[in-house]
Structure 1
Amino acid sequence: MFKILDCTIRDGGYYTNWDFNKVTVSEYISAMNNLPVDYLEIGYRSMPMSGYLGKYFYSPIYELEELRQQSSRKLVIILNERDVKPEHLNDLLLPIVGLIDMVRLAIDPQNLGSAIKLAEVIKKMGFEVGFNVMYMSKWKLYNDFIENLRGIDGIADYFYMVDSYGGVYPQDVIETIDLVRKYTNCRLGFHGHNNLELALVNSLTAVEHGAEIIDATILGMGRGAGNLKTELLLSVLNTKFDIQLDFNALEKAVNAFEPLLDKHKWGTNLPYMISGSNSLPQKEVMDWVTTRFYSFNSIIRALQNQRNKIKDNQQLPLFKPSKTYKKAVIIGGGPNAEEHSKAVMQFIGNGNGETCIIHASAKNAKKYQELAVDQFYCLVGNEGQRLETVFKGLGTFDAQCVLPPYPRKMGTYIPAQVTDKSFELSQIDFTTQVNDSHTVLALQTAIKLGAQQVYIAGYDGYNEVPLTELERTLVGENEHLFDAFQQYTGITLYSLTPTKYKSLSIQSIYSLI
């Protein structure tokens, strides 16, 4: 029977920044003590890095001591080979001798030679050694890597094939095992990602062809589209191989992580399927899906650009407005832009032609489309599709669209009917942190239009408490943009409608009409 390594805490850390509360970890460890799982990978050991990375990225000694006391399973930590030098190993590993059973190395195939040198030292310290070699779908491209496989016998206890992109098929697994077996007798393992929902069949195929250890995580929690689900693997083993299983313990493990699944919503989706099918990195897709409000169309267009090795699919004339305006009113997508639309329109209509509207989002544009003033639309994310919905075929559309500077990482979608009315910014002047959000486009457009006064409606903030990580990210980004704009231009931003944004001054729309 093959062995199972559960790496929920380590791989799930990509969603929690390697912080898990104590109750969750304790329930997980307790459940695993009663399940046929051999190894638990509970985090990284790392040298100091910039930015905040949580407890299980560094795995402090006191934490490992506590886990060692709680767990009856073999414990594993992993090192990022690219970040670890031989001179770091004493500090990282000597203090955990007796606490940790296996040390795995996450390895770029091009660095296998240096990984072998690290492993020689680690092996002498008394640890089992696992090689997690990434990008298995591209191994054939690395001639030096194939030759270096001869050097792992007697050093690596397990040599893992890692489907980093989540895009291999069972036949690929078979062919890779046949390739590796020509150069090494090391015990093989498989770590499958689930972009194409093939992690289970690929893992079982690996076992059928000689793999002796398989990675899995509770609820599939892991980077990007996630991994083989531990509960699925164990359920299959129970029915297929009559492995005895404590389903109460398995339920306890699943229940411990369900709140995190509800919060972070990992798992495959269309962008992850596209990235897996084309062997494209999951890191950017994960960032786009979890930390920004990008539409799936935008993400897929960006992935297609990567696959085709092009920067973008359309370059536009530069946005060079022929007219300036005394006042600009930026309309956001919040409910308050609709709730107070009559008052806002009266305020704009009283502007004697010196006021324009900038739609950060077209979500509320229908309320304002009959207003006889110049209007500009920020075309980012799914705004092209939204324009088509709001204007029902765009036959009545008479405005200009403004897009981020070229090249646009997320690609470009412009409805055919507005192509001749679409322009791109040459650059973002007031910040270097963001160049393709609704807010940064609206504020830069106000600068290009020469606005001396800038008002905002429909930037409500979020009323839900607590905020999701996605919402917190967007709020923080917008706060930065409001502050940076005001500092750069010297113009105070006034919200005409209720807002939770602290960077905005408030001036009631009803005091102005």
Structure 2
Amino acid sequence: MDRKGFDVKILDCTLRDGGYYTNWDFDINLVQNYFESFNKLPVEYLEIGYRSNPMKSYLGEYFYCPPHVLQRCKKSSNKKLVIILNEKDVRAKDAEALLKPCIGYIDMVRLAIDPQNFKRALSLAEAVKKLGFEVGFNVMYMSAWENQKEFLGQIREVNGIADYFYMVDSFGGVYPEEVKKTYDIVRNQTDVKIGFHGHNNLQLGLINTLTAIDCGVSIVDATVTGMGRGAGNLSTELLLTALNAKGKLEENLDFNALSKVVDPFAKLQTSYGWGSNLSYMVSGAHSLPQKEVMEWVTKRYYSLNSIIRALSNQSKGIKDNQELKKLDFEDVKKHDSVLLIGGGPNAVRHSIAIKEFLVKHPEIAVVHASSKNAKSFEEISNEQFFCLVGNEGHRLEEVFNFKSKISGKCILPPYPRKMGTYIPNALNDCSYELSKVDFTDRFADSHTAIALQTAIELGAKQIFLTGYDGYSGDTIGKKEQDLFLENEMLFDQFTRTYDVPLISITSTLYEGLKEDSIYSKIEEE
């Protein structure tokens, strides 16, 4: 292929980096289309996934790349194929067992390396090299290298071992001038070919990659539609289009093939939502890890305000931005029965009957796990508690507009709170934190966990629930699925810890809840 003197190689790592969103499972037809399209595109390497030692959680076929996957990929592709080893989980003694099945199928093995483990990674690289593969050193956390003097003094030791030394902008926070500076540091230490892998938190993936090319790197990474961990990467289609416009590629770049591979991944993007947003921008600007941010953004109902507050606390090195007084439940009236109100539509759909039930039973305390339906119960005389988790302080402001102070107490998770603390000014005098959540180690800062713990602290001998409808249908999103499973787990852990029945008085899909009818309850004498 005539590259007109342009000798920078392009590596597409969609199947590997994109696996962070799909658990490394991809539809077989999508993958076949991926290979067929790239067969017509000026990209030298395709990184198809990891080779890994067994892990405890479920991870899909492109995390392990077993022999049948390697064979299928090789049969479908005319490109050089690459796998990556995560150095923190793999040692030199593991190399032969992991990589022998790759011989004849894989051309390059890259190592994902924490600079603190650089010295240890050298022995793994030597073992990989002995097996006949090209070796790529993907050294992470580029924006933090400046403070790692020991690592910077070791770079020259890759001479004779690595074929490529990658500068990896793991946090997506470097600027073009930093790319130039880091390139010069590496170039002065080693004669190994240099590569660049940039994340796109600050939307600098393209300019940083073009800067790296101008500096003299030999290889750069990209992914289709930018699919990749957290905010993702420079998109392959953008890089190819930009290089083509500058005359760096063949004039007859096959845009039909490019479009054919982009379209199905663009559809995936609407489901998984990769790409930069304000949370990833802040994490990139402060060189904060994306792993936790990705979980907050994709799996939990945390608002941008909550995530930004958490990131701000991390950047300042503080646990939480506010510590509250703990509610002394010894001084709070005890309630044998507590009603938990979630955010599902049944709480409002049946609110007339629920309020009639509460009028008949003024001794029942009401705990709002979510503020979403709180307005419907504004006028009840029962003692009320509002769980302020994540973004609930802002939601409560929107629900009540605070023309008059709410009647009740606000309850927050124990200090320190993962997402930091936000309390509307009008609620400062009635906001407290729990001293503990003792029935679960997971999701202890969730709406449901805080509501259940509050009910126990109030002395509940039975807990009614409404607004915990569950989700049905084929169109529910991953967030809804995750929330459903989270609540199911919490209900199970709660009932294993406490002999307190959980009774839904409106219809529910949660198997962990007993069912009763609000309409039978209001008929009871």
| Alignment TM class, shorter chain as reference | over 0.9
Runs of at least 5 residues in structure 1 that lack an aligned partner in the other structure: none
- Indicate if the aligned counterparts of 1:11 and 1:223 stay in contact, CA closer than 8 A: yes
Which whole-Å CA distance do the structure 1 matches of 2:297 and 2:462 have between them? Answer: 35
- Indicate if the aligned counterparts of 1:28 and 1:256 stay in contact, CA closer than 8 A: no
1:393 Cα offset (Å):
2.4
Which whole-Å CA distance do the structure 2 matches of 1:317 and 1:60 have between them? Answer: 55
Any idea what SS the aligned residue of 1:362 has?
Answer: coil
Alignment of 1:324 onto 2:334:
yes
In the other structure, the counterpart of 1:215 is 221
Which whole-Å CA distance do the structure 1 matches of 2:131 and 2:36 have between them? Answer: 29
**Among 489, 493, 503, the residue aligned to 2:502:** 493
- Indicate if the aligned counterparts of 1:394 and 1:417 stay in contact, CA closer than 8 A: no
- Indicate if the aligned counterparts of 1:387 and 1:394 stay in contact, CA closer than 8 A: no
In the other structure, the counterpart of 2:298 is 290
In the other structure, the counterpart of 1:29 is 35
In the other structure, the counterpart of 1:350 is 360
One-letter identity of the residue aligned with 2:335: Y
1:463 Cα offset (Å):
3.1
Which whole-Å CA distance do the structure 1 matches of 2:132 and 2:441 have between them? Answer: 49
In the other structure, the counterpart of 1:192 is 198
Which whole-Å CA distance do the structure 2 matches of 1:287 and 1:23 have between them? Answer: 28
Any idea what SS the aligned residue of 2:189 has?
Answer: coil
**Among 465, 468, 474, the residue aligned to 1:456:** 465
In the other structure, the counterpart of 2:350 is 340
Which whole-Å CA distance do the structure 2 matches of 1:247 and 1:323 have between them? Answer: 70
Please list the CA deviations of residues 94-140 of structure 1 after superposition, one character each: whole Å capped at 9, or x if unmatched.
Answer: 22111100000001112222222221221222111111000111112
TM (normalized to structure 2)? 0.96
Which whole-Å CA distance do the structure 2 matches of 1:27 and 1:275 have between them? Answer: 34
Any idea what SS the aligned residue of 2:173 has?
Answer: coil
**Among 274, 282, 285, the residue aligned to 1:266:** 274
In the other structure, the counterpart of 2:3 is none
Please list the CA deviations of residues 138-181 of structure 1 after superposition, one character each: whole Å capped at 9, or x if unmatched.
Answer: 11211221111111122211111000000000001001011111
**Among 385, 389, 397, the residue aligned to 1:388:** 397
Structure 1 vs Structure 2: percent identity of aligned residues? 57
Any idea what SS the aligned residue of 2:339 has?
Answer: strand
In the other structure, the counterpart of 1:149 is 155
1:242 Cα offset (Å):
5.4
Which whole-Å CA distance do the structure 2 matches of 1:345 and 1:483 have between them? Answer: 28
Which whole-Å CA distance do the structure 2 matches of 1:330 and 1:311 have between them? Answer: 29
Superposition pairs of residues 433-444 of structure 1, within 5 angstroms: 433-444=442-453
One-letter identity of the residue aligned with 1:283: K
- Indicate if the aligned counterparts of 2:202 and 2:276 stay in contact, CA closer than 8 A: yes
Please list the CA deviations of residues 344-391 of structure 1 after superposition, one character each: whole Å capped at 9, or x if unmatched.
Answer: 00001101x311111011111111011111100000121101111122
**Among 203, 228, 239, the residue aligned to 2:234:** 228
Superposition pairs of residues 15-414 of structure 1, within 5 angstroms: 15-241=21-247, 243=249, 244-321=252-329, 322-351=332-361, 353-393=362-402, 395-414=404-423
- Indicate if the aligned counterparts of 2:167 and 2:195 stay in contact, CA closer than 8 A: yes
Which whole-Å CA distance do the structure 1 matches of 2:304 and 2:520 have between them? Answer: 41
**Among 432, 437, 443, the residue aligned to 2:441:** 432
1:488 Cα offset (Å):
2.0
Any idea what SS the aligned residue of 1:132 has?
Answer: strand
Any idea what SS the aligned residue of 2:281 has?
Answer: helix
Which whole-Å CA distance do the structure 2 matches of 1:359 and 1:120 have between them? Answer: 59
Which whole-Å CA distance do the structure 1 matches of 2:51 and 2:41 have between them? Answer: 26
Which whole-Å CA distance do the structure 2 matches of 1:152 and 1:487 have between them? Answer: 54
Please list the CA deviations of residues 6-48 of structure 1 after superposition, one character each: whole Å capped at 9, or x if unmatched.
Answer: 0000000101111112111101011110101100000001111
Please list the CA deviations of residues 410-439 of structure 1 after superposition, one character each: whole Å capped at 9, or x if unmatched.
Answer: 100001111110111111122222211111
- Indicate if the aligned counterparts of 1:320 and 1:448 stay in contact, CA closer than 8 A: no
Please list the CA deviations of residues 251-299 of structure 1 after superposition, one character each: whole Å capped at 9, or x if unmatched.
Answer: 1111231232121111111110000000000011001111111111111
Alignment of 1:502 onto 2:502:
no
- Indicate if the aligned counterparts of 2:201 and 2:281 stay in contact, CA closer than 8 A: yes
Please list the CA deviations of residues 68-112 of structure 1 after superposition, one character each: whole Å capped at 9, or x if unmatched.
Answer: 111000000000112111111110112211110000000111222
One-letter identity of the residue aligned with 1:224: G
Single out whichever of 478-487 and 100-109 deviates more from structure 2: 478-487
Q: What is the RMSD computed on CA atoms of the aligned residues? A: 1.1
- Indicate if the aligned counterparts of 2:107 and 2:134 stay in contact, CA closer than 8 A: yes
Which whole-Å CA distance do the structure 1 matches of 2:169 and 2:469 have between them? Answer: 43
- Indicate if the aligned counterparts of 2:405 and 2:426 stay in contact, CA closer than 8 A: no
TM (normalized to structure 1)? 0.98
- Indicate if the aligned counterparts of 1:357 and 1:375 stay in contact, CA closer than 8 A: yes
- Indicate if the aligned counterparts of 2:14 and 2:47 stay in contact, CA closer than 8 A: yes
1:394 Cα offset (Å):
5.2
One-letter identity of the residue aligned with 1:501: Y
Which whole-Å CA distance do the structure 2 matches of 1:382 and 1:372 have between them? Answer: 26
